[in-house]
Amino acid sequence: METTTNPRGKFSIQIKYVLTVSISEYYYMVLRKVWEFPSFSSECPICGGSNCCVRIGYYPRYVLSLEEGILLLIPIARFLCKRKNKPKIKDLTFSLLPDCLIPYMQLTIDTLMQVTHNKLVKNKTNEEIVSLFYFRIYEARLNLSSETLRGYYELFEQTAQKIKTYLREREKDDYTGKIPHTLVEVYWFLDKFDDPQYGKGFRSPALWYHESLGGFRNNAYFLFGTPYQFR
């Protein structure tokens, strides 16, 4: 299947950053300054130059995780491209967004899927789902409501549309599996996803989708959410 280069943003791009630990472990290791970020010395994600980009700090963002029962202010690493290869694009910086996170959303991918499971499969009410958050996470700053959940449902609907469109395109080439049609079918497709390269778990189909479209080198779309460069 052919992939095409998508238009980059004007100033910054978000790169999916695969973690091998939980988001809370990442948080504490970064705070203790024992986390080793990639140097990108062989290839700058923006211009492709060697020994080009440098880490320039972090920006904070809240992360809401039902699976870990936390609301944390996570540091997101930022890098500056020195433009050694003089790229035609206007991007200046890029950030490393842990692969369990969703751009511009507090909740993790697993938490979104827990919400989706409770809504679509268990048919729980919004009030019951909100109560689940407050039962798991004792945090005054949650401020969750039915309106918040509607935003989560819309995000899952967008994700479902992406995966259905992608699989229909793949069907023209090499995909022989069943294409999900309803939201519930999409949920179970993601839940049962198992790939020799990407493994199991809801983060796995997200990474599979992103890498199948070319990954950060092709500035590929994210399955869950919309990163800065496409806004």
Query: What pLDDT is recorded for position 231?
Result: 67
Neighbouring C-beta atoms of residue 205, cutoff 10 Å = 25
- C-alpha atoms less than 13 angstroms from C-alpha of 114 in its C-beta half-sphere: 17
Q: How confident is the model at residue 210 (pLDDT cuts 50, 70, 90)?
A: very high
Query: What pLDDT is recorded for position 3?
Result: 31
Give yes or no for residue 5 having a pLDDT over 50: no
Query: What pLDDT is recorded for position 88?
Result: 58
Please give the average per-residue pLDDT across 190-212, as a whole number.
94
Q: How confident is the model at residue 173 (pLDDT cuts 50, 70, 90)?
A: confident
More confident residue, 144 or 8: 144
Query: What pLDDT is recorded for position 216?
Result: 83
pTM: 0.88
Give yes or no for residue 110 having a pLDDT over 90: yes
pLDDT tens-digit series, residues 83-106: 887 765 677 889 999 999 999 999
As a three-state string, the secondary structure of the chain is CCCCCCCCCCCEEEEEECCCCCHHHHHHHHHCCCCCCCCCCCCCCCCCCCCCCEEEEEEEEEEEECCCCEEEEEEEEEEECCCCCCCCCCCCEEEEEECCECCCCCEEHHHHHHHHHHHHHCCCCHHHHHHHHHHHCCCCCCCCCHHHHHHHHHHHHHHHHHHHHHHHHHHCCCCCCCCCCCHHHHHHHHHCCEECCCEECCHHHHHHHHHHCCHHHHCCCCCCCCCHHHC
More confident residue, 193 or 144: 193
Task: State the Cα–Cα distance between residues 26 and 49, nearest whole angstrom.
Answer: 28
Please give the average per-residue pLDDT across 182-195, as a whole number.
96
The conformational region for residue 104 under phi > 0 = left, psi -120 to 50 = alpha, else beta, is: left
Query: What pLDDT is recorded for position 58?
Result: 94
What is the percent of the chain with per-residue pLDDT over 90, rounded to a whole number? Answer: 63
Selection from 156, 158, 215, 216 nearest residue 191 by Cα: 156
Neighbouring C-beta atoms of residue 52, cutoff 10 Å = 21
Q: Which amino acid is at 140?
A: A
Query: What pLDDT is recorded for position 6?
Result: 38
More confident residue, 164 or 46: 164
What is the percent of the chain with per-residue pLDDT over 70, rounded to a whole number? Answer: 91
Please give the average per-residue pLDDT across 98-118, as a whole number.
94
Please give the average per-residue pLDDT across 148-168, as a whole number.
94
Q: How confident is the model at residue 2 (pLDDT cuts 50, 70, 90)?
A: very low
